Structure 1
Amino acid sequence: MTPGGEEMVIMSRAEFDRLAALASEAEEMADDIAVYDARKAAFAAQGRMVLPAEVSALILKGKGVLTAIRKWRGLTQVELAKAAGIEQPYLSALENKTRRGTDETLAALAKALDVPVDWITPAA
């Protein structure tokens, strides 16, 4: 206790340094979260939907967008191809980006996956 009655804590320099580093990391993380939240809000304000975290994680692991969304929906290539009215080898080629889908095919895939078509439309 200080002469004024305030409680004091005594700790080692190593413990103080560890706590200071943790506080710095927490502050940096809070800044990152604020930037993420602001960008997500701006994206939503444009009327666009954000990819689910599971899809983003698969993309970061190297999966293509179409493959990631299909896996997120729990579908095999055969199941998705059938639901979209296309052949499985064609779907495989689309997922591997060896072929580009027509607007009609992409719309059918988006409908079968229950996602906005711009999620699976390749950027120009």
Structure 2
Amino acid sequence: MKVEFRKTPSGEVAIIPRAEYERLMVLSNEAEEDIGTARLVAKAKRDKGVRLPLSVVQQLANGENPIRVLRQFRGMTQADLATAEGVQITQNYLSDLETGKRKGPIALHRKLAKALDVPLDCLDPIAVTDQEAEPERFARRKSVIAGMKRLRGQR
């Protein structure tokens, strides 16, 4: 590299070719970005927040099913997640959750979130109350309870 030094009233300066100056500027900017990235990573580790790759965040932002996206990100099959500790559902049920055929109760979403190692908020948009998740079952339960109340009233 050709460097020319000159004395000026404000001190000695170095004169370098423009191409070398531009190369050094690129390296300087990359170093600043690396420092910024290192700070963000260190902060995220300290805060113990969920760290997801941009591609996963984009999939979630685009409205893709969070259970499927996060399961795939964790490298799990449907069978792995369905039989994970605390979850214990059928693979077909999980498939229905992932395709939107079923919504699933909030209690199940808590278990799935734990198995996927994410906060419930990551799954919350599709979680519903138990009654909303299984309206037929709750209608039957309501009918049975009404029948029991009638029987008590007759005695």
**Same fold, judged at TM 0.5 (above):** yes
> Relative to total residues, which structure has the larger strand share, 1 or 2?
2
Q: Give 1:69 deviation, angstroms.
A: 2.9
* CA offsets 1:49-107 (integer angstroms, 9 cap, x no match): 522335x5434367643224323443210121123122222212322344322112112
Q: How many aligned residue pairs are there? A: 114
With normalisation by structure 1, the TM-score equals 0.57
* Percent pairwise identity: 35
**Residue 134 of structure 2 corresponds to which residue in structure 1?**
none
* Matches for 1:71-90 after TM superposition, within 5 Å: 71-83=72-84, 84-90=87-93
Question: How much is the aligned-residue C-alpha RMSD, in angstroms?
Answer: 4.1
Point out where structure 2 has 5 or more consecutive residues left out of the alignment: 128-155
Q: Decide which structure has the larger Cα Rg and report it.
A: 2
* Unpaired runs of at least 5, structure 1: none
> C-alpha separation between the residues in 2 aligned to 1:75 and 1:30?
32
Change (3 A) 1:12 1:87: same
Comparing both chains, which one has the higher relative contact order based on Cα–Cα distances under 8 Å and sequence gaps of 6 or more?
1
Aligned residue runs from structure 1 range 1-124, under 5 A: 9-24=14-29, 26-27=31-32, 29=33, 33=37, 36=40, 44=47, 50-54=49-53, 56-60=54-58, 64-83=65-84, 84-122=87-125
Alignment TM-score, normalising by the size of structure 2: 0.49
Checking the alignment, whether the CA contact within 8 Å between 1:40 and 1:50 is kept in structure 2 is: yes
Question: How far off is 1:123 after superposition?
Answer: 6.9
